[in-house]
Structure 1
Amino acid sequence: MAENNVNKMIGKVFNDIADAIETGEFGEKIRVGITTFGSEHGVDNVVKGAEIAQNRDSSIEVVLIGPKVDSPLTQVVVENEEEGYKKMEELLDSGEIHSAVTMHYSFPIGVSTVGRVVTPGRGREMYIATTTGTSSPHRVEAMVKNGIYGIIAAKTMGIENPTVGILNLDGARQVERALKDLDKNGYKINFTESLRADGGCVMRGNDLLAGVPDVMITDTLTGNILMKVFSSYTTGGDFEAMGYGYGPGIGENYDRLVLILSRASGIPVVANAISYGASLAKGNVKELAKKEFAKVNKAGFKEILKGLNKETKKQDDEEEVVAPPKETVTGTIAGIDIMELENAVKALWKKGIYAESGMGCTGPILMVNEGKLEAAINILAEEDYITKESTIC
């Protein structure tokens, strides 16, 4: 009997060594919990995805949190969805699991999730920052924060210097200015260029399809829609079959690694989300986030964010601004956010330069006399409506 026990122990040791050689990891396995209640496709859909994730990566251990099921995976049995969330948090906070995947979660204000998709144009992976949660009640501030969150997620996943683009939405130019201020202050950001001839880091729909940036900055509601389209455009919309889900909640001083799935997420996305969660845990996203926030704060991040929220001279003045005499306007200036366009016109009128607003193929433009183009650009740059880069169409 003693000899049999010794043989079993020796066998286990050799198996453990073999597993470690195969995975390259000699420490404990990364444990990823997943709640199984709540899927529109049923508990079995989640369990099958979890089993795929487990079978393809022996360095992780998937823990099911939900009703008792017929599965070889580790299980923590709970009676309902609410109890599942509580148990998930308990396991995370105690360190019994390193990350968790769930279908709904209430993040605090300041935390939002970075999704990960595979784009149809070129088959590139792209991080969408962000897809659920609220980084800030202020739209532009939220998008600036989203950019930092996306960079953190991409760096944790092994992209040392991720390229960054800003989706062409209301507020995009203000986001661009804020991020370029950070870059000038020492927090270096690798801005990408649009694949379209006009270039620039403000991204068009073409850039989305091709996956031009590693990190695509957007507001959360738009990001949520993009995730749904990228993940289910081949299935008709009710079954998310592609990508890695809506990603981890990231925010300054946030200490739980929770990733989000949709209730429409199918087996492949469930499996990929678990793998995404395991990789983030292996890369120690919480520690990397602390380092990134320290660097970005050193570059004046909080001061730049405060500046975005101030009521500035850009708002409509109570006094009426009279337009200078009309003249031919063939010089065009790009890079002004649509929400600031009319105020930018008035800023030039105050300085005696006649200007009109318009819409070019890349977004809002101001039109001035070509002879006054340089003076107009300098005024708008001084008033913080534009940066001098990429302003002439």
Structure 2
Amino acid sequence: MSSKNIIADVFLEVANAIESGDFGPKVRIGLTTLGSEHGVENLVKGAELAKSKLFDIVLIGPKVDTDLEIVEVNEESEMHKKMEELLDSKYIDACVTMHYNFPIGVSTVGRVLTPGRGKEMILATTTGTSATNRIEAMIRNAVYGISAAKSIGIKNPKVGILNVDGARQVEKFLKELQSNGYGIEFAESMRADGGCVMRGNDLLAGTPDVMVTDTLTGNLLMKVFSSFTTGGDFESQGFGYGPGVGEDYDRKIFIVSRASGSPVVANALKYAYEAVLGNVSDVARNEYADAKKAGLDNIIASLNAKKEDKGEAEEVKMPDKEVVTHQIAGVDIMELDDAVAALWKKGIYAESGMGCTGPIVLVNEAKGEEAAAHLKEAGFIA
């Protein structure tokens, strides 16, 4: 479902509520107001901008001049304790806050407005740690991104994988999940060579609904997307760093930066409202169940086994050198040397290289098909 359709549905909901006079049980979204680099006033202004008949906003922080409800807290050290208390007691349904420490296995799913086409795009993920193994983390990030997208009304989100270290391995494993029945749909790069591994151009255009990346890169991208028009010290664009999503995580905590300005704070509150309506926690739980049916646990186990098996590298004799002009793409940068060594074991001379779309293995033209078949059999390419 497009953003236009989501907005249309919200307007229809508002119109029906106005006509009937029944807005139903109110969703309450909290907002902590201490800790911003731009002061309490900036956060309160964001809350005022977000005011709606669809949901109530509860400020958690010092007393200020506003019509909004305030749960008074005057120390930042006490603020998150109060927030957790209000969440766990169900007094609020979600909360927007800053600088929150999630447990390992939980990370946040950001939402930006791309400068190239003005399209919304989900960034999975932007803070937190989904797993300590990079490839495992990005696979989980894909599930988190799909969950967040579905919770805000995108029924069949198209997924792209940012061309960072590990992208090709992530592609291979996600496609394995897809072939085993997990309902993931892949985006196609806008560049001529296509594929679901996304280039910088796709970032600017918002090619996928969900862009999968490692969390540190996602955090950097959030900052660039949100403050590229302001010089960096005031985040004015987008919806913030998003909800903390995990396999079995129920607190709906949404993150903004200490540099987030009032427009981002307002959008983050609206993002929280949409994800509460779509019950992002339940969606994530269901997505995980589906991914596990498709073999997610086996994939994770194989990654951990591979990590443990990397002891002393086996010495492989290099075959006689040949002219290498045939390029084989799709091998991840982190496995490039291993892929070359695998071909040497088969008696095929190969070299590693870097093409315009990423890492490549170079072999003799006459041995291109044979080499590609060996690499596919060994799991280096999809």
Q: Offset of 1:284 from its aligned partner? A: 1.3
What SS class does the counterpart of residue 36 from structure 2 fall into?
A: coil
Q: Report 1:1-393 matches (<5 A).
A: 20-21=17-18, 26-54=23-51, 57-311=52-306, 315=310, 318-387=313-382
Task: Show CA shifts across 1:29-64 (max 9, x none).
Answer: 11000000000000000001001101xx21100000
Q: Offset of 1:27 from its aligned partner? A: 1.9
Using the alignment, how far apart are the partners of 1:60 and 1:231 within structure 2? Answer: 25
Using the alignment, how far apart are the partners of 2:297 and 2:310 within structure 1? Answer: 22
Task: Show CA shifts across 1:340-385 (max 9, x none).
Answer: 1111111001101111111100001011112211111111111111
Using the alignment, how far apart are the partners of 1:23 and 1:165 within structure 2? Answer: 42
Q: Offset of 1:23 from its aligned partner? A: 9.1
* 2:143–2:284 CA contact under 8 A, matched in 1: no
Using the alignment, how far apart are the partners of 1:85 and 1:320 within structure 2? Answer: 54
TM-score (ref. length: structure 2): 0.93
Using the alignment, how far apart are the partners of 2:38 and 2:133 within structure 1? Answer: 35
Larger Rg: 1
Judged with a 3 Å threshold, the aligned counterparts in structure 2 of structure 1 residues 155 and 85 are, in CA distance, closer, same or farther, namely: same
Judged with a 3 Å threshold, the aligned counterparts in structure 2 of structure 1 residues 314 and 368 are, in CA distance, closer, same or farther, namely: farther
- Unaligned runs of 5+ residues in structure 2 are 1-13
Superposed CA RMSD = 1.7
- Unaligned runs of 5+ residues in structure 1 are 1-16, 388-393
* 1:314–1:340 CA contact under 8 A, matched in 2: no
* 2:131–2:137 CA contact under 8 A, matched in 1: yes
Using the alignment, how far apart are the partners of 2:204 and 2:21 within structure 1? Answer: 35
Judged with a 3 Å threshold, the aligned counterparts in structure 2 of structure 1 residues 259 and 24 are, in CA distance, closer, same or farther, namely: farther
Q: Offset of 1:313 from its aligned partner? A: 11
Using the alignment, how far apart are the partners of 2:119 and 2:314 within structure 1? Answer: 52
Q: Offset of 1:324 from its aligned partner? A: 1.2
* 2:27–2:55 CA contact under 8 A, matched in 1: yes
What SS class does the counterpart of residue 306 from structure 2 fall into?
A: coil
What SS class does the counterpart of residue 289 from structure 1 fall into?
A: helix
Structure 1 stretches (4+) deviating beyond 3 angstroms? 22-26, 312-319
Q: Offset of 1:25 from its aligned partner? A: 6.0
* 1:240–1:266 CA contact under 8 A, matched in 2: yes
* 1:315–1:343 CA contact under 8 A, matched in 2: no
Using the alignment, how far apart are the partners of 1:58 and 1:318 within structure 2? Answer: 63
